[in-house]
């Protein structure tokens, strides 16, 4: 995960252009600097789970990275569990340490803001969603992807949406709002993706976490817009069908009037076979 300096100037990431950024977070209520937010319940269990699994990695789990890490080609062949397990594996001490500090600093605030159930659901959705994006963009890759960065990027966009005007201090000097910081993070990831396409960093997973998190939190708005769009299409289709039906009815009435006028002036024997069938059909339809 990227290196940030959050509150107490701790780095939060490895081998990434954003690792040169640092941020300090101010309290959204008092705007005093918050050095160490109290860890929330779900965040605490996530921290414990990640630490325990990392310790187990050092003893024997590293040999199973091909089974527990996210390997796109294997996911497409049924190893669906990797979309979950990869989130709890990390490459080294700094990797897990930085990710967990970020989880603690942002996750604790978001859990208190949302509630534990929604926070846990969101964390898993963004982590798994980032994995799905990673699989879709490189389905034939056999290289394992590990780490919680996808979910962490989900927390970044969530924090920006929950507290858009919260001020952050980059390197303790440059003030930037959380909403602008999320955009900056996304742009840096995009630039790095094009400038260093072969780097051993799952940038698609990072961007996937941002995108999945954004649309998950905005899904009600976009669902409403989609329903409105579909409803508009249906309404216009019904209007076109009604217009065609009305035009057809007018044509039929005009033809009936013409035939009746012909009968009045020339007699019924003057009708052609087609005109007789037409009148008979209209008579049956009216009955």
Question: Edge-to-edge strand order for the sheet containing 174-177?
Answer: 23-25, 167-170, 174-177
Q: Active site residue: 206, 231, 243, 270, which one?
A: 206
Coil/strand/helix, residue 23: strand
Active-site residue 206, yes or no? Answer: yes
Helix 203-217 and helix 149-162, axial crossing angle in degrees, nearest 10: 40
CA-based nearest residue to 147, from 57, 84, 86? 86
Q: Active site residue: 34, 40, 108, 149, which one?
A: 149
Are 31 and 167 spatial neighbours (Cβ–Cβ below 8 Å)? yes
Are 11 and 106 spatial neighbours (Cβ–Cβ below 8 Å)? no
Active-site residue 149, yes or no? Answer: yes
Helix ranges, 60-115 (H): 65-68, 72-75, 82-85, 93-102, 108-114
Mind telling me the catalytic residues?
149, 206
């Amino acid at each position: 995960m990227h290196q940030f300096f959050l509150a107490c100037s701790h780095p939060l990431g490895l081998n990434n252009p954003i690792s040169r950024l640092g941020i300090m977070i101010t309290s959204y209520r008092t705007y005093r600097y918050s050095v160490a937010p109290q860890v929330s319940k779900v965040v605490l269990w996530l921290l414990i789970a990640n630490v325990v699994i990392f310790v187990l990695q050092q003893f024997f789990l590293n040999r199973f990275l091909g089974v527990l890490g996210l390997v796109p080609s294997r996911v497409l062949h049924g190893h669906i569990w990797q979309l979950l397990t990869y989130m709890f594996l990390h490459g080294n001490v700094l990797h897990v340490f930085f990710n967990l500090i970020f989880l603690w600093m942002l996750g604790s605030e978001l859990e208190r803001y949302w509630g534990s159930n929604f926070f846990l659901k969101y964390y898993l959705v963004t982590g798994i969603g980032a994995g799905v994006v990673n699989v879709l963009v490189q389905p034939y890759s056999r290289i394992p992807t590990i780490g919680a960065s996808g979910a962490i990027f989900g927390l970044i966009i969530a924090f920006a949406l929950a507290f858009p005007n919260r001020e952050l201090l980059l390197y303790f000097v440059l003030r930037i709002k959380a909403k602008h910081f999320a955009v900056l993070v996304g742009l840096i990831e995009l630039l790095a993706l094009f400038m260093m396409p072969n780097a051993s960093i799952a940038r698609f997973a990072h961007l996937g976490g941002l995108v999945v998190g954004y649309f998950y939190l905005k899904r009600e708005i976009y669902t409403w817009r989609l329903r409105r769009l579909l409803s508009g299409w249906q309404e216009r289709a019904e209007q076109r069908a009604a217009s065609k039906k009305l035009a057809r009815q007018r044509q039929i009435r005009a033809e009936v009037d013409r035939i009746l006028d012909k009968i009045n002036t020339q007699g019924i024997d003057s009708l052609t076979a087609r005109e007789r069938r037409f009148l008979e059909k209209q008579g049956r339809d009216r009955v």
